[in-house]
Every structure is written in C-alpha cells, then in structure tokens.
Amino acid sequence: MIQTSTSPKQAAFEKSPVIVELRNVTKTFTVAGGSEMKVLDQIDLAVHEGELLALLGQSGSGKSTILRCLTGLATPTSGRVLCYGQPMEGINSHASVVFQTFALYPWLTVEQNVEVGLMAKNLPRAERDAAVEKAIELIGLSNYHAAYPREISGGMRQRVGIARALVSEPAILCLDEAFSALDVLTAENLRHEMITLWHRKDATLKSVFMVTHNIEEAVEMATRICILFPRPGRLGLVLENNLPYPRDSKSPEFQSLVRTIHETITTLTLPDHPPEPTIVSGAPISRARNRMESIPYVPVGQILGLLSILRDTPDLTNIYDISNEIGKEFGETIGIVKAAEILELVDTPKNDVRLTELGQSFLSADRIGRRLIFSDQIHNLRIFHIIIEYLRLQDEVEADQILKDIASALPYDNPEKILQTMVAWGRYAGIMDFNASARTVFVLKDEVEHAPNV
C-alpha cells in the first residue's frame, strides 16, 4: 500500500500524462541586507493527469513557492516549468488557484466574484452567465448570488473561492492551504466535497494539486504525497496512497500511513546520533559546538513549556503524542523539540523526547540558575558566536552587520527571523538586548558573570 517512488506501481502510474511539471527548479529570494536566500533547491515535481497530489511541509519550507511556480505566479531562478510538455510563459492558463485567505474581492457579490474567473475569456454575456450559474450551483451557493463576502461565513467564502477557480474549467486545481483558515467541521466538509468534485468524470478538471502542512489532511485526500523539507526546500519522500475513498481516519491503514510520515519527518529533522557517553561522563558532549547549525524560530517560552510538560508527565515520550498533548501542528512541535535539543535540554532517541540531565537541573534551578545554564548553552552554539564576538569588542553592534553575517553563514535561512530568535534567547540568557529604534544589539549592562556550570 505504501510505496516509495522507486516501486513498480509508481512507475506504472507515471505513464499517465503529465499536465505540468517542474524540472530542476531552484528559487532564491533577496532578503534583508541584499543577500540571497535559497528557498527551493533543484526540485523535480510533476502533476499527472487524474491524480490528487499533496505537497506536505511545514511553514517556510517553500511549498507555496512551488505552487506559485506551477501556476506561473512566480518564475524560477533557474530550471524549467513545462505545461503539457511546452515551456510555460506567464500565467498557467490550465491551472486555477484557491487561496488560504480566500482572496475574494470584498466589493463584489458572490456572483461577480465567480465571474472574475471568466474575465480572461472573452465570452458572450449569456454564455458567461450560464457558466457562472453552473459553478455556483455545483458548489452549493445557489441562494447566495447577491451576497457580499463579508456577509457570509468562512466556509461559504471558501466555496466562492472554489467556484471562482472552477468556473474557467481548469485542468488542474491548486489548493494553497485552502482549508487551514476554516474551523475543523467546515474544513472536513469541504474536503469531502473537493474529493467528490475531483472524482466526477464529466468535468474538465483532471487533477488537484494541494499544498498543506496538515498530515491527516494529506492522507485523507491525496493519491500521492510529497514531503518537502526546508532550508532549502527539497523533496524528501514521495508516497503513493491507494486507500479507497471515502477514507476512514480511524482505520489502521490510515493510521499506519500517518505514522510513516511522522517517523520520516522525525528522523530527517532530528537525526539520531551515535550513542553518547552521557551517563558515564555525567555531562553531555556538545554536538553543536563544532559546526554552524541553524536554530528553529521558537520563542523561549515554548521551550520552557515543553520541558515542564516532559517533567510533569513522565510517560509522555513519543513526539507525536506530545504534539497532540500541546495542541500544536506536528511541524511546530518538531521545531520546539529541535530547539530544546540543540540547547541539549532534551535528547531525542528515535521518536522519543527525553529530558537530559542538564534539562533536569535546568528545571530545578531558580531563575538565575536557569539563566546561567541557558547562557552557557547559547555560548555553545556557533551561530551565536557571530554576535558574541562582536560584543566582546564593542558594547553594541548594528543589526544589519549581524544580518549580513548570518546570511553568509546560513544561506537557506531567513536572517531576520534568525536574528529575532537569537535576540529572544539572548535576552532570556541575560547576555544581550535589542534597541529597536537604533537597530542595534547591545550588551546588557548588569551582565551576570559566567560562573562555571553547576
């Protein structure tokens, strides 16, 4: 049932014709300070006829950029985009997009909003009205013609978004996190309708390409799931999903597919390291010390929260269970765990998360003790040395200078966000602060001397 991309079944599937594909696509953006950030790195991805392809990844992994490349909203820095084998130029006329924010024009009625989807086609009025009427009926908006978007609920708004995308009879429908702004029940309902729409054989709609960070959503809807890993975005795993529709999220097959994806993400994001002589030596050996490693954009409060939960519920170890417990998306949870891990406050053997000894003593320390441990751990992270080196020589340093250094050290990261996170961690550790109006990072005057670790 679950095959990786090299399996024979996958090969058979690939015989169905390709509608649109990315070939060796790389995309870089210019970020603050003029340096380049590589968002996508050599992506190959094809959307075949008849499939419902889900691209799964956490926020910032570049999945929306892939969607924008496929639809022609963005042009790759290098590589090619082909539509039915032809190099694509400008907007992809075979694709329509449904947006996360709905992107409805608030000053147009439901009917007029749907009509926007047909504007590019120079249709006579009668034909256009008929097409709009058909789309409105198909998506169940019949009584809402004259309503304005602000007068209807979020679910209804997204229906308008879908009707607008379908009215021009595209071959491929692109959903950009189309259900994530909706409440759980509405989203579930719309997902079912989406599958039904895609199943109808009479329509010109051949395929659906959806971008999501929700693992269950991808498993519930897609025939094929691609997992995108961040910094820079690259495809990590391609799974085929042949479960029959309608899919029961409680069924063991469904659950096992979800678990496979969890495990893949966990092993790739939090790789296991050779066993460390933690117990023997009494103190863990720093792994981060010797290489420049990025830090997840996680506020200190969330790391502390994770540690408290680990202490208070000792049998809670599986990272997926933790994710459910704290009510966060799996991707976000992974980020928090990773942050705690590079600070050596937790360890992550396989899919488990455990407090390290340092983590234990951190939790039992008082405020100053915690600050000292945090400060020591920060000093072990090489990325922090960019700032620490500057602050050793002078009392304050300009943020732009630091941003430039971060950008050259971590070309796949957003330097602004890294700096924000570093300042937040550094504030907690009491070693630095940020002056927003002068845009400088400065040494805290009442800095506590770094006593040797407990």
Partner 1 sequence: MNPELPQLKASEHRGGFGLMDVFIILGIIGLAWSIIHFASGMLVGFDERAVPTLDESVWSIPYYAGRTLLRMWMAFGCSLLFTFGIGYAAAKSRIARAFILPAIDVLQSVPVLGFLSATVAGFMALFPGSLFGVECASIFAIFTGQVWNMTFGFYHSLVTIPGDLQDAAATFGLTRWQRFRTLEVPASMHSLLWNSMMSFGGGWFFVAQSEAISVMGKNIKLPGIGSYMAAAVERGDNTAAFWAVAAMLVVIVASDQLVWRPLIAWADRFKMELTESTEAPGSWFYDMLRGSVVLEWFSRRVFDPLVEWFAQLSVRRNGPRRVVAKGSAKVQYLFYVCVFSALVLFAAFYAVRGLVDAAKAVHAGVSLEMAGHIAWLGVLTMLRVFTMTLLATLLWTPVGVWIGFHPKAARVAQPLAQIAASFPVNMTFPIVVGLFVAWRIPMNWGSILLIAMGTQWYLLFNVIAGAMAIPNDLKDAARTYGLRGWALWRTLILPAIFPFWVTGACTAAGGAWNASIVAELATWGDTTLKADGLGALIAEVTQRGDTPLILCSIGTMSIFVIVTNQLIWRRLYALAERRFRLD
Interface residues with partner 1 (CB under 8 A) are 68, 71-73, 89-91, 93, 95-97, 99-101, 103-108, 116-117, 119-122, 125, 148-151, 157, 164, 168, 436-437
Token pair recorded at residue 307 = 């540690």
Residues 6+ apart with CB under 8 A from 54: 210, 211, 212, 217, 218, 221, 222, 224, 225, 226
Nearer of residues 113 and 294 to partner 1, judged by Cβ: 113
Nearer of residues 167 and 288 to partner 1, judged by Cβ: 167
Closest distance to partner 1 from the beta carbon of 92 (Å)? 8
Nearer of residues 124 and 327 to partner 1, judged by Cβ: 124
Nearer of residues 352 and 433 to partner 1, judged by Cβ: 433
Closest distance to partner 1 from the beta carbon of 89 (Å)? 7
Closest distance to partner 1 from the beta carbon of 424 (Å)? 20
CA distances 55 to 233, 326, 356, Å, are 12, 25, 35
Going 412 to 386 to 419 to 334, the CA torsion angle's sign is positive
Closest distance to partner 1 from the beta carbon of 439 (Å)? 11
In terms of phi and psi (left: phi > 0; alpha: psi -120 to 50; beta: otherwise), the region of 293 is beta
Strand partners for 228: 235
Strand partners for 434: 441
Nearer of residues 362 and 434 to partner 1, judged by Cβ: 434
Q: How far is CA 212 from the centre of its chain?
A: 7
Q: Could you give the CA distance from residue 314 to residue 291 in angstroms, rounded to a whole number? A: 32
Nearer of residues 114 and 227 to partner 1, judged by Cβ: 114
Nearer of residues 8 and 106 to partner 1, judged by Cβ: 106
Closest distance to partner 1 from the beta carbon of 12 (Å)? 32
Closest distance to partner 1 from the beta carbon of 213 (Å)? 17
Nearer of residues 157 and 338 to partner 1, judged by Cβ: 157
Q: Could you give the CA distance from residue 114 to residue 99 in angstroms, rounded to a whole number? A: 14
Cβ(113)–Cβ(62) below 8 Å: no
Closest distance to partner 1 from the beta carbon of 112 (Å)? 8
Cβ(340)–Cβ(374) below 8 Å: no
Q: Could you give the CA distance from residue 267 to residue 141 in angstroms, rounded to a whole number? A: 45
Closest distance to partner 1 from the beta carbon of 140 (Å)? 20
Cβ(384)–Cβ(342) below 8 Å: no
